[in-house]
Amino acid sequence: MAYELFYWPSIQGRGEFVRLALEEAGEDYEDVARGPGGVDALMAALKEGPTPSFAPPFLRSEGMTIGQTAAILIYLGERHGLAPQDMAGRLWTHQLQLTIADLVGEAHDTHHPVGNSLYYEDQQEEARRRAGDFTAARIPKFFSYFGHVLGDKDYLLGAEITYADLSLFQTIEGLAYAFPQATGRALAQHPNLAALRQRVAERPRIAAYLSSTRRIPFNEEGIFRRYPELDS
Amino acid sequence: MAYELFYWPSIQGRGEFVRLALEEAGEDYEDVARGPGGVDALMAALKEGPTPSFAPPFLRSEGMTIGQTAAILIYLGERHGLAPQDMAGRLWTHQLQLTIADLVGEAHDTHHPVGNSLYYEDQQEEARRRAGDFTAARIPKFFSYFGHVLGDKDYLLGAEITYADLSLFQTIEGLAYAFPQATGRALAQHPNLAALRQRVAERPRIAAYLSSTRRIPFNEEGIFRRYPELDS
């Protein structure tokens, strides 16, 4: 296998942004922790070697081990034409990715505002307050930004898809799963984002992936969790 | 001026990571919002042009406008030798930067666990819970990681400084300001990180910057805030 991806085996999580890039590129990869003994292999690999990761996901390729989702996407973007080659285009794609990552981080924190070391059930009241702000103010603000950037183009940068489009697709999917009401309202305000979501979902390799068993369903262990009490 | 930096004029914030890279590189730059009418210029520039930013900081250079701290640092790193030139070294530096950014984000959220739209005073109870987890578990875990990566080298990648070292320095400074007790304990466990902090502070251009009026003092409007009730 050209690529070994290390990520938690039962959630989409941040690993999904890497999976989508590999799938769109049509690359074979081993999703290591989903194989037998895989989580042990993940934990052993995490701190190994000269470039250890603070947390999954990380990717092995060409003798390198690359951690941090956005850094992995720089690498895959350059190798597989999922970002422009010129400096300005590379930076702009990455800027968009990092802004998407900010939105994803905020989505995560709606159910874990106090910290990851506690269960959701132990921070439910705080979660309700944070999710109220997120659905009322933050989703609309981020969608307004990305809707403005997209305009009437097919993809964020123009005619060609980049890893930022794949990541924005995944984020909209996740938000629509976790916050169907709030996300439905925001998409109705930004039909171009709804169209982008559809356009990415219909790309042949992405469509094949989404209907395969490689795509882990959304669930209440991942970043995007459907807790109806947090959606409004 | 070769560079125009756009960031809030009264805090270090995320702009400080860019300022430190520009200072270490010995580059002239205009800190636009700190001049007359500067905040208006910042707000006007925020959404302008083909690569608008979701939020400050952003940097103008060579006709480009680059947003997102970590993307700006990729650019400055390549231009001014603050990162290796080869792919593996570039990615590793960036991976470290993104992990530092995760720590910075968590430090911020200690005083704003419910959301940025509310004042600290309106989320003080939640802040206390989140800061307890942050000081007891997260600072030690991040310091353990960076201490392991640094080992007995002068800088994170070896003999040469990169933008990741500047960012780690700034983060330790900020944590020591906001959480002197918790950070003091963590630094005592990782004397190599304390030595790195010192080593960066003593670099001639950084030392000159830190003692200049260009360095905005830490305060309770920024990312790192000294609220004694959150430190333990």
Q: Does A228 reside within a domain?
A: no
Name the strand (E) or helix (H) holding B64: strand B64-67
Distance CA A166, CA A145 (A): 17
Q: Does A221 reside within a domain?
A: no
Are A49 and A97 contained in the same domain?
Answer: no
- A115, B92: Cβ pair inside 8 Å? no
Are A65 and A92 contained in the same domain?
Answer: no
pLDDT reported for residue B1? 63
Q: Is A62 left (phi over 0), alpha (psi -120 to 50) or beta?
A: left
Percent of chain A with pLDDT over 90: 91
Mean pLDDT along residues B75-93: 97
Gap from B32 CA to chain A (nearest CA, Å):
21
Residue pLDDT, tens place only, A5-14: 999 999 999 9
Residue pLDDT, tens place only, A161-197: 999 999 999 999 999 999 999 999 999 999 999 999 9
8 Å CB contact between B167 and B83? no
Are A35 and A142 contained in the same domain?
Answer: no
CATH of the domain at A22: 3.40.30.10
With bands split at pLDDT 50, 70 and 90, how would you rate the model's confidence at B113? confident
8 Å CB contact between B188 and B181? no
Instruction: DSSP for A40-88, please give it.
Output: HHHHHHHT-SSS--SSS-EEEETTEEEESHHHHHHHHHHHTTSS-SSHH
Name the strand (E) or helix (H) holding A172: helix A163-178
Are A20 and A73 contained in the same domain?
Answer: yes
Q: Is the dihedral of CA B120, B126, B128, B133 positive or negative?
A: negative
**How many helices (H) and strands (E) would you count in chain A?**
10, 4
CA angle A65, A70, A73 (to 5 degrees): 70
Are A103 and A164 contained in the same domain?
Answer: yes
pLDDT reported for residue B26? 98
- B91, A74: Cβ pair inside 8 Å? yes
Q: Is A158 left (phi over 0), alpha (psi -120 to 50) or beta?
A: left
Q: Which residue has the higher pLDDT, A88 or B117?
A: A88
Q: What residue ranges in chain A does DSSP mark as E strands?
A: 3-6, 29-31, 58-61, 64-67
pLDDT reported for residue A113? 87
Question: Which has the closest alpha carbon to A17: A87, A105, A146?
Answer: A105
Distance CA A29, CA A19 (A): 9
Q: Does A212 reside within a domain?
A: no
Q: Does A100 reside within a domain?
A: yes
Q: Does B96 reside within a domain?
A: yes
pLDDT reported for residue A122? 87
Q: Does A22 reside within a domain?
A: yes
Is B64 touching A (CB cutoff 8 A)? yes
Is B129 touching A (CB cutoff 8 A)? yes
Q: Does B123 reside within a domain?
A: yes
Cross-chain CB nearest to B68 (options A54, A99, A105):
A99
- B68, A138: Cβ pair inside 8 Å? no
pLDDT reported for residue A119? 87
Distance CA B201, CA A86 (A): 35
Q: What's the domain range around B147?
A: 87-203
Residue carrying the six token digits 């963590």: B186
pLDDT reported for residue A162? 98
8 Å CB contact between B6 and B44? no
Distance CA A6, CA A15 (A): 8
Mean pLDDT along residues B197-207: 98
Are A7 and A45 contained in the same domain?
Answer: yes
Cis-peptide, bond into residue A57, ω within 30° of zero: yes
Gap from A231 CA to chain B (nearest CA, Å):
15
User: Cα dist. B125→B122, B139, B176 in Å?
Assistant: 8, 20, 22
pLDDT(B149) > 70: yes
pLDDT(B117) > 80: no
Contacts of A95 in chain B (CB under 8 A): 51, 53, 66-68, 71
Gap from B93 CA to chain A (nearest CA, Å):
9
- pLDDT, mean over chain B: 96
Are A43 and A115 contained in the same domain?
Answer: no
8 Å CB contact between B174 and B182? no
ipTM for the whole complex: 0.97
* Alpha helical stretches, state H, chain B: 15-25, 38-46, 69-79, 87-111, 124-133, 139-150, 163-178, 180-189, 191-201, 204-210
Cross-chain CB nearest to B54 (options A66, A99, A130):
A99
pLDDT reported for residue A6? 98
Name the strand (E) or helix (H) holding A189: helix A180-189
Q: Does B75 reside within a domain?
A: no
Q: Which of A58, A79, A100 is the last residue of a domain?
A: A79
Number of domains in chain A: 2
CATH of the domain at B176: 1.20.1050.10
Is A113 touching B (CB cutoff 8 A)? yes
Gap from A216 CA to chain B (nearest CA, Å):
25
Are A93 and A172 contained in the same domain?
Answer: yes
Question: Which has the closest alpha carbon to B131: B178, B98, B177?
Answer: B178
Task: Please state which of the ranges A135-149, B117-131, B164-178 shows the lowest mean pLDDT.
Answer: B117-131
Contacts of A113 in chain B (CB under 8 A): 109, 113-114, 126, 130
pLDDT(A152) > 90: yes
Residue pLDDT, tens place only, A55-102: 999 999 999 999 999 999 999 999 999 999 999 999 999 999 999 999
pLDDT(B126) > 80: yes
- pLDDT, mean over chain A: 96
pLDDT(A1) > 80: no
Task: Please state which of the ranges A212-221, B102-111, B114-123, B178-187 shows the lowest mean pLDDT.
Answer: B114-123
Q: Pick the residue of A17, A46, A51, A54 with the most B CBs within 10 A to test the interface with B by mutation.
A: A54
